[in-house]
């Protein structure tokens, strides 16, 4: 496999959109996955409007990462078309409404488990062979907000996701694929806005700057 192919799950906004955009500018072909069709289309418009020499392209995949049949089909198509995957960044998360731990809504908890924990576990099983074939890299994102008060459902499931990633990183340290777990600087994302409503966002890092910094690691 010679083409630089990346998969970004959660690519319609925030860090995921910024990473997909930066990768395209660097000549990668990016498979951008998200539920929000409008966000993916805006991402595609930005990349096309930039008209940078040597830029790559996007394949938009408007689908839900919790839909295992859809994710299985997508990964199979990546295998059949390209043979492997150089990079996977998993930025998709579900942040529930804030509330004290004794008041967790079980439906919200189930959604958090499905999006933040089960989807990550399932995607690892699907993406690992693609990365192995291309000697690629996976990247997960730890979140200090996961331990904040009134965010127990998000925090517990996000911590579980990172535990999965750490286990996978340890298991593949010698044989690959490479698994990185990074902690982005605070950014003005929708998830952060839930934890800090009304916060002055001017000191926060721009997602495009964080994306560029994190991509330099690969």
pLDDT tens string for the chain (218 positions)?
A: 557 999 999 999 999 999 999 999 999 999 999 999 999 999 999 999 998 888 899 999 999 999 999 999 999 999 999 999 999 999 999 988 888 999 999 999 999 999 999 999 999 999 999 999 999 999 999 998 787 888 899 999 999 999 999 999 999 999 999 999 999 999 999 888 888 888 999 999 999 999 999 999 98
5-215 has CATH 2.30.110.10 classification: no
| Segments in the chain forming alpha helices (H) | 14-25, 37-50, 68-82, 106-112, 119-134, 152-171, 190-195, 207-215
Q: What is the spatial distance between Cα 138 and Cα 19, in angstroms, rounded to a whole number?
A: 13
Q: What is the spatial distance between Cα 180 and Cα 175, in angstroms, rounded to a whole number?
A: 14
Q: What is the spatial distance between Cα 57 and Cα 143, in angstroms, rounded to a whole number?
A: 29
Query: What is the model's pTM?
Result: 0.95
Q: What is the spatial distance between Cα 184 and Cα 9, in angstroms, rounded to a whole number?
A: 16
Give domain limits for the chain.
5-215
**What DSSP designation does 134 have?**
H
Strand order through the sheet with 29-34? 57-62, 29-34, 5-9, 87-90, 137-141, 178-182
Q: What is the spatial distance between Cα 89 and Cα 94, in angstroms, rounded to a whole number?
A: 16
Tell me the three state secondary structure of residue 89: strand
């Amino acid at each position: 496999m010679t083409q630089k192919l990346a998969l970004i799950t959660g690519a319609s906004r925030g860090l995921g959109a910024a990473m997909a955009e930066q990768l395209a500018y660097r000549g990668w072909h990016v498979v951008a996955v998200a539920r929000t069709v409008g966000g993916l289309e805006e991402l595609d418009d930005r990349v096309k409007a930039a008209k940078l020499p040597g830029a790559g392209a996007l394949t938009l995949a408007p689908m839900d990462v919790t839909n295992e049949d859809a994710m299985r089909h997508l990964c199979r198509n990546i295998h059949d078309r390209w043979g492997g995957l150089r990079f996977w960044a998993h930025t998709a998360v579900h942040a529930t409404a804030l509330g004290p731990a004794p008041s967790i809504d079980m439906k919200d908890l189930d959604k958090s488990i499905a999006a933040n924990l089960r989807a990550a576990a399932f995607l690892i099983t699907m993406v690992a062979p693609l990365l192995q074939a291309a000697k690629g890299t996976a990247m997960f994102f730890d979140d200090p907000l996961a331990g904040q008060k009134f965010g127990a459902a998000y925090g517990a499931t996000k911590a579980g996701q990172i535990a999965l990633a750490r286990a996978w990183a340890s298991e593949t340290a010698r044989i690959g694929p490479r698994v990185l777990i990074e902690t982005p600087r605070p950014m003005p994302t929708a998830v952060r806005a839930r934890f800090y409503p009304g916060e002055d966002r001017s000191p926060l890092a721009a997602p495009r700057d964080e994306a560029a910094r994190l991509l330099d690691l690969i």
